[in-house]
Amino acid sequence: MTTRTVRLERRPPRWLIRVAWTAFAVTVPSAVWRVLMIVGLMPGTADLRAFELGDDHTVNYLWVFGLSVVQLTAAFLTVGLVRPWGTVFLGRRVPRWPVIAVATAGGLAVTWLFTVSLPAQIATGHRPDAGHVSGLPLVVMFACYAPIVLWGPLELVATYGYRRFTGRGHHPSTNAVADRYASDSASR
């Protein structure tokens, strides 16, 4: 059997690939909006920008950029559940149960933050922008932040799919493609 044949046999189901990429995609609009707002490129958000920057501009710029990078990085790790680079780390195969445990904990955490807590706060009148944005800019902000409500549930569905896909003989350790990547990385 050729490597290409093994790769096709071990490929995750299409629905799982779509869910993993969608979990990442729903985090992009809010991260981009946040960065554009803090650098002053989002019209109608000058008051929010001044509020967020406060007295220590450098620290608060770093906070907003860092938050966006962490958010996107954490979300992109979901894609690792369906890609070969997610099965090998530093030349070694990644055991599936720690991945499942971390992905489940992360999925539950972002479900709490964005699917439960954020809408509950908004429903009780506590807006994340502290009332500094109104009109069309508020609509744009809402449109950019609304998709993130799906991040946690999508992460949990992707984790469940990964668990099912990697079970019953499909564990990355039995995957010849992962073995090839591991041996290539180890020989470097």
Percent of the chain with pLDDT over 90: 73
Is 27 within the bounds of a domain? yes
Is 71 within the bounds of a domain? yes
Is 3 within the bounds of a domain? no
Total domains, the chain: 1
Is 8 within the bounds of a domain? no
Residue range of the domain that includes 41: 13-186
Is 2 within the bounds of a domain? no
Is 127 within the bounds of a domain? yes
Is 164 within the bounds of a domain? yes
pLDDT in tens, 52-88: 999 899 999 999 999 999 999 999 999 999 998 888 8
Spatial distance between the Cα atoms of 53 and 103, rounded to a whole number of angstroms: 33
User: pLDDT tier at 179 (50, 70, 90 boundaries)?
Assistant: low
Is 5 within the bounds of a domain? no
